[in-house]
Structure 1
């Protein structure tokens, strides 16, 4: 296993690409999306089926999720997605026609749901695994993109709750433990939805910093803390959806799945607006958001819950 994190790899990219990368923009290479100009944002995300396709997911489900993952990054930065491109890699050992048709159907279903154009598609070969890369373009609906940094002392922390936290990893773990059958796991599965309501919220309140939460809540909060030299003091966590509650043996297990699950496709955001104001505005546009706590400027970058420091671990591809 590598000692390098994803952040370390991006640091290498920034160093090696320094003469082709324009610093000083609102977003850097580590952020959820990049700026094409003052009006458009760009994102690219890639996945291998070995690391990201659950046993009960169809190829259509997997492709849908890849599109949602890419466009959610744009939404988190304040852009309305309008077009995607995608590329897939297939092994000659597989049923290439069947899988490619299924992936194309999943991409189309996501594009139909979110009114996205497909402007490019490509293929390549892979040795064994199947992989997909999705790129997306969106138009800014804010004056400038929302960075991960930008936290003002004593900002309030919130997260959208469109898909919920801990769902996929809880189902997967209980399936591996033999506590859920394949049929039960498939029956509990939900295709993730992109949190478009966040774009409506931007018309009502000023948001200072935001990040997509798909690598785990604790990890994403840790990135906010590190990018802002701030301590995040959490007084509340999202609660898993009702059909999951009976699967947890302890509250500690439940909290761990919420903090470290991953693949939520939610948006963490920070603002000076009070919890009462944010709750009122979210209710007015039918967007469910959860108040998590406060961020304060600090020489330390840490996250606390119930007065205890929590590990900022999450999904890592190289560890």
Structure 2
């Protein structure tokens, strides 16, 4: 699909249309609902996922619509509750909902609409040599979920507050403000941190030199840095910022209580390097 400027949207996390940014995400429960999630949790996170693309593109989330295929009425009710909870959390209205009967597997599609300021938005392309790489929000929740799925960690040993992070991650709603004001490129972390960084590397045709990884301190006993490289569905953000705007970006983060970390730099070339070693592009598989 093409946007209003007749450009392909492949380099966008969310597509611009007039004064708005629009995104859609869809999920089958058999491939996305974690075993410890309720259907309310599942639909809540699906809404966050769709809003994430809008925010990282520089848009303020304002409204959503959704369509759900439910296997029974209880699932439908739970999904509706999750969407309502997400709309409150994101301070966005629900425009319309659509319900369908699904035979074997429940599914959901969520469209999110964001408002642009002065029609300013950010794509995955735009990073240049000398820019700084910013990690917005913590990493590690997807890696924790992966370990739980693979029975590498006993779920009964995990504090409930930590487990809930796999449902409601370190979501930085107001990050759209420093992003639209100062970022040269950006992408959200849905399929994995390396996949996110490669989105920028490939679209901007640059090399990313990653120096550090910021993991939620609550996860220090469970997740190592190398594991967090591929952590998925954390819905944190990667942004690049020019040297001249770096202090302004970080000051905006501080004023808005947004967790922002300088974790690397942009150079000429291609690929992502962590501690001077190239890291493969690898994302969410299960």
- Structures share fold, TM-score greater than 0.5: yes
Instruction: Indicate the residue corresponding to 1:32 in structure 2.
Output: 13
1:280 maps onto 2:254 in alignment: no
Instruction: Indicate the residue corresponding to 2:276 in structure 1.
Output: 307
1:165 maps onto 2:145 in alignment: no
Distance 1:290 1:27 in 2: 31
1:130 maps onto 2:106 in alignment: yes
Task: Please point out which of 157, 163, 187 is paired with 1:211.
Answer: 187
How far is the alpha carbon of 1:33 from its aligned partner? 1.0
**Cα-to-partner distance string for 1:22-61 (whole Å, 9 max, x where unaligned):** 5855771452111222x11111000111111111111111
Cα distance 1:142–1:294, how it changes in 2: closer, same or farther (>3 A)?
A: farther
Instruction: Indicate the residue corresponding to 1:192 in structure 2.
Output: 169
Task: Please point out which of 134, 140, 157 is paired with 2:116.
Answer: 140
How far is the alpha carbon of 1:202 from its aligned partner? 4.3
**Matched residue of 2:209: which SS?**
strand
**Matched residue of 1:208: which SS?**
strand
Q: Which moved more, 1:269-278 or 1:116-125?
A: 269-278
1:293 maps onto 2:260 in alignment: no
**Cα-to-partner distance string for 1:80-106 (whole Å, 9 max, x where unaligned):** 111110011123xxxx11111111011
TM-score normalised according to structure 2 size: 0.89
Mark the structure with the bigger radius of gyration. Answer: 1
Cα distance 1:217–1:32, how it changes in 2: closer, same or farther (>3 A)?
A: same
1:63 maps onto 2:43 in alignment: yes
**Structure 2, gaps ≥5 residues long:** none
Cα distance 1:24–1:82, how it changes in 2: closer, same or farther (>3 A)?
A: closer
Distance 1:193 1:103 in 2: 22
Distance 2:157 2:104 in 1: 27
Instruction: Indicate the residue corresponding to 2:93 in structure 1.
Output: 117
Cα distance 1:182–1:88, how it changes in 2: closer, same or farther (>3 A)?
A: farther
**Structure 1, gaps ≥5 residues long:** 1-16, 249-253
Report if the CA contact (8 A) 1:175-1:181 is conserved: no
How far is the alpha carbon of 1:201 from its aligned partner? 2.1
Cα distance 1:232–1:225, how it changes in 2: closer, same or farther (>3 A)?
A: same
Cα distance 1:281–1:36, how it changes in 2: closer, same or farther (>3 A)?
A: closer
Distance 2:118 2:183 in 1: 10
Cα distance 1:226–1:202, how it changes in 2: closer, same or farther (>3 A)?
A: closer
Distance 2:58 2:158 in 1: 37
1:201 maps onto 2:184 in alignment: no
Distance 2:38 2:118 in 1: 36
TM-score normalised according to structure 1 size: 0.81
Distance 2:217 2:59 in 1: 32
Question: Structure 1 stretches (4+) deviating beyond 6 angstroms?
Answer: none
How far is the alpha carbon of 1:64 from its aligned partner? 0.8
Distance 1:181 1:309 in 2: 33
Instruction: Indicate the residue corresponding to 1:256 in structure 2.
Output: 226
How far is the alpha carbon of 1:178 from its aligned partner? 5.6
